[in-house]
């Protein structure tokens, strides 16, 4: 943490203490997250700062301070935020002391900030993705001056280490290994709102993983928009495969995952490291986006259909039991019926365990938004339904493949619906419900998978 941020945190702590005394009760704060794991992790840092400043954590939007950490990857993410804001406006009329903040990816878009500035005047603080660590300073300024504070930077600065963090669960944690993205896929807004790719120093990452392990974490997820290009910008370059192997060596860490892999940068070295390290989960999320080489080119993905298929074959040859999942966009500009058939063909050949399917959403400022031949909504909807059907049929057949096997599951909760049962997560991220009690939470248990039910299994603990 920078020394100015320590000072800001100290000042906020003083303000919160005074305000707590004035109101005669603790002040509460809630962070609402939209978007991906990167945003989830940022929210844990925001909560860390708020708790360190003396707020009491809350899950309710009725809290004294509510911060929305926004996503803008598709239009519906934006629509959801405005839905919440409408609701909060009426709450604020009844409680004028309430403080509402917005940060995250959407606030890196000038038009959105302008809209908040002029039409959502009840929003008190606004900051962006590059300065989340400024929360203490920005919030304190608002609390002391009573004036709204809008502080958005248009460019990334260095990486700030050692922010306080409040993890959602004690036994697993995300770990940022890099920020930003340099790929500029033609449909995607992330590079514009998260800035250029920059990797954390391996020593900082390992120090964080070691301290998480000491704190009881047994599973880490290494996070980046394109983890396969980790380390390229470091003074002493290091590959993602090397980093992954080093993380596996940390004592106490039993499981390692990572998100997201870009097919163009997935090396044979990485496949080999995964195959020889049992701590690495047998799961790879490998976004396909489209199965048509022509569309992939227009998307600027820099691989083609054959390259993707060959890659998945190499991965399966090294790890026959691996579970492959993916992201697919339907209705990219110019997508014809033949292009879409190519996508279905890849889905049939690769047999993904599951797939996130998205309707193409034009994002202002991206090249695809101004491409000709935008696909009509009714065509997209019809294709989307066909794709979803295929993905689900194949996914549920794939899950039968593991019935009868005994696999390790990390127990996450007691099953709220069936007393005497717990829910664990397998290496491939699928849930299994089995008999057990809450003493198992946060531990890894070997579970025989008895029945597959599409998105989950019923199993029996093998002790
Ligand atoms: N960095 C990751 C993905 C980040 S965004 C990667 O490259 O794979 C998560 C997913 O959202 C993407 O994989 C893509 O399928 C989807 N997505 C991104 N922009 C989109 C858009 N404009 N419309 C629809 N889906 C989009
Ligand atoms: Fe977006 Fe492509 Fe970067 Fe993923 S790799 S974040 S899809 S630009
Ligand atoms: Fe959304 Fe930002 Fe993640 S736009 S998907 S929250 S990087």
**pLDDT digit string, tens, across residues 147-206:** 999 999 999 988 888 899 999 899 999 999 999 999 999 999 999 999 999 999 999 999
- Angle made by CA atoms 160, 164, 165, in degrees to the nearest 5: 110
What would the two tokens of residue 58 be?
A: 């809350």
- Angle made by CA atoms 14, 134, 72, in degrees to the nearest 5: 135
Q: In what order do the strands lie in the sheet containing 354-359? A: 283-285, 323-330, 354-359
CA–CA dist 264, 262 (Å, integer) = 6
Question: Are 116 and 151 in contact, with CB atoms under 8 Å apart?
Answer: no
DSSP H or E stretch at residue 17:
helix 3-23
Average pLDDT score over residue span 341-353 = 98
39 lines ligand 1 (CB under 6 A): no
Q: Which atom of ligand 2 is nearest to the CA of 73?
A: 1
For residue 463, what pLDDT band results from cuts at 50, 70 and 90? Answer: confident
Q: How far is the CA of 411 from the centre of ligand 2 (A)?
A: 32
Q: Which of 227, 329, 346 to mutate to test the pocket of ligand 1 (most atoms within 8 A of CB)?
A: 329
Name the residue at shortest CA distance from atom 5 of ligand 1: 73
Instruction: Among the bound ligands, name the one nearest to the CA of residue 191.
Output: 2
CA–CA dist 336, 293 (Å, integer) = 12
Q: Which atom of ligand 3 is nearest to the CA of 73?
A: 4
Q: What is the pLDDT of residue 313?
A: 98
Instruction: Among the bound ligands, name the one nearest to the CA of residue 224.
Output: 1
| DSSP secondary structure code for residue 64 in this structure | S
Average pLDDT score over residue span 341-364 = 97
Mapping DSSP onto H, E and C, the string for 104-168 reads: EHHHHCHHHHHHHHHHCCCCCEEECCCCHHHHHHHHHHHHHHCCCEEECCCCCCCCCCCCCCCCC
Q: How far is the CA of 109 from the centre of ligand 3 (A)?
A: 12
- The full DSSP string for 366-405 is SGGGG-S-PPPHHHHHHHHHHHHHHHHHHHHHHHHTTTT-
Q: Which residues contact 61 (CB under 8 A, 6 or more apart)?
A: 30, 32, 84, 87, 88, 91
Question: Are 127 and 134 in contact, with CB atoms under 8 Å apart?
Answer: yes
Q: Which residues contact 450 (CB under 8 A, 6 or more apart)?
A: 403, 404, 457, 458, 459, 460
For residue 4, what pLDDT band results from cuts at 50, 70 and 90? Answer: confident
The torsion defined by the Cα of 4, 7, 13 and 17, in degrees rounded to 10, comes to: -140
The pLDDT tens digits of the residues spanning 48-68 come to: 999 999 999 999 999 999 999
285 lines ligand 1 (CB under 6 A): no
Q: Which atom of ligand 3 is nearest to the CA of 77?
A: 1
What would the two tokens of residue 224 be?
A: 């980046």
Q: How far is the CA of 107 from the centre of ligand 3 (A)?
A: 11
Q: Which atom of ligand 3 is nearest to the CA of 194?
A: 7
191 lines ligand 2 (CB under 6 A): yes
What would the two tokens of residue 280 be?
A: 């690495």
For residue 336, what pLDDT band results from cuts at 50, 70 and 90? Answer: very high
Average pLDDT score over residue span 332-352 = 98
Q: Which atom of ligand 3 is nearest to the CA of 38?
A: 3
CA–CA dist 204, 196 (Å, integer) = 20
Q: How far is the CA of 104 from the centre of ligand 3 (A)?
A: 8
| 284 phi and psi angles, rounded to 5 deg | -135, 120
Answer whether residue 2 shows pLDDT above 80. Answer: no
Q: What is the pLDDT of residue 332?
A: 98
| DSSP secondary structure code for residue 255 in this structure | E
287 lines ligand 1 (CB under 6 A): yes
The pLDDT tens digits of the residues spanning 442-459 come to: 999 999 999 999 889 999
Half-sphere exposure in the Cβ direction for 142 (13 Å, CA)? 22
Instruction: Among the bound ligands, name the one nearest to the CA of residue 263.
Output: 1
Cα-based distances in Å from 155 to 4, 39, 193, 262: 20, 18, 9, 24
Average pLDDT, rounded, for the chain: 96
Q: Which of 34, 227, 287 to mutate to test the pocket of ligand 1 (most atoms within 8 A of CB)?
A: 287
Name the residue at shortest CA distance from atom 7 of ligand 3: 190
For residue 417, what pLDDT band results from cuts at 50, 70 and 90? Answer: confident
The pLDDT tens digits of the residues spanning 394-411 come to: 999 998 989 999 999 999
Q: How far is the CA of 113 from the centre of ligand 3 (A)?
A: 16
């Amino acid at each position: 943490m920078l020394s100015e941020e320590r000072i800001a945190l100290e000042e906020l702590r003083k303000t919160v203490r005074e305000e707590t005394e004035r109101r005669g009760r603790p002040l509460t704060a809630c962070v609402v997250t939209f978007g991906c794991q990167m945003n989830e992790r940022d929210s844990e840092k925001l909560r860390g700062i708020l708790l360190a400043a003396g707020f009491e954590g809350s899950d309710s939007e009725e809290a004294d301070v509510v911060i929305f950490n926004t996503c803008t990857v598709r239009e519906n993410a934006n629509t959801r935020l405005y839905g919440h804001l409408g609701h909060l406006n009426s709450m604020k009329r009844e409680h004028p002391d309430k403080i509402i903040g917005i940060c995250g990816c959407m606030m890196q878009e000038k038009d959105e900030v302008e809209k908040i500035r002029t039409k959502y005047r009840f929003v008190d603080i606004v900051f962006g993705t590059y300065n989340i660590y400024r929360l203490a300073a920005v919030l304190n300024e608002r609390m002391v001056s009573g004036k709204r504070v809008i502080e958005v930077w248009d460019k990334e600065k260095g990486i700030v280490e050692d922010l306080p963090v409040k993890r959602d669960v004690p036994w697993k944690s995300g770990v940022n290994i890099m920020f930003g993205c340099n790929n500029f896929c033609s449909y995607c807004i992330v590079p514009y709102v998260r800035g250029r790719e920059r990797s954390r120093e391996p020593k900082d990452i390992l120090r964080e993983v070691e301290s998480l392990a000491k704190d009881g974490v047994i599973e880490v997820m290494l996070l980046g928009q394109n983890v396969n290009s980790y380390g390229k910008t470091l003074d002493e370059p290091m590959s993602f495969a090397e980093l992954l192997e080093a993380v596996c060596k940390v004592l106490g860490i039993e499981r390692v995952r990572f998100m997201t892999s870009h097919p163009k940068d997935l090396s044979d070295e990485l496949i080999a490291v995964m195959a020889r390290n049992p701590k690495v989960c047998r799961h790879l999320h490998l976004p396909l986006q489209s199965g048509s080489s022509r569309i992939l080119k227009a998307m600027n993905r820099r691989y083609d259909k054959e390259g993707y298929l060959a890659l998945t074959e190499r991965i399966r040859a090294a790890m026959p039991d691996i579970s492959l999942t993916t992201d697919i966009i339907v209705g990219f500009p110019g997508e014809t019926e033949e292009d879409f058939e190519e996508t279905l063909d890849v889905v049939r050949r690769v047999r993904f365990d599951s797939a996130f399917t998205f309707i193409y959403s034009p994002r202002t400022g991206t090249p695809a938004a101004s491409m000709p031949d935008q696909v009509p909504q009714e065509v997209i909807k019809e294709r989307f339904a066909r794709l979803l059907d295929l993905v689900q049929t194949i996914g549920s057949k794939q899950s039968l493949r593991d019935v009868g096997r005994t696999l390790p599951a990390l127990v996450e909760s007691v099953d709220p619906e069936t007393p005497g049962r717990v829910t664990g997560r397998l290496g491939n991220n699928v849930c299994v419900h089995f008999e057990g009690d809450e003493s198992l939470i946060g531990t890894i248990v070997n579970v025989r998978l008895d029945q597959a039910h599409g998105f989950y299994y019923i199993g029996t603990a093998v002790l």
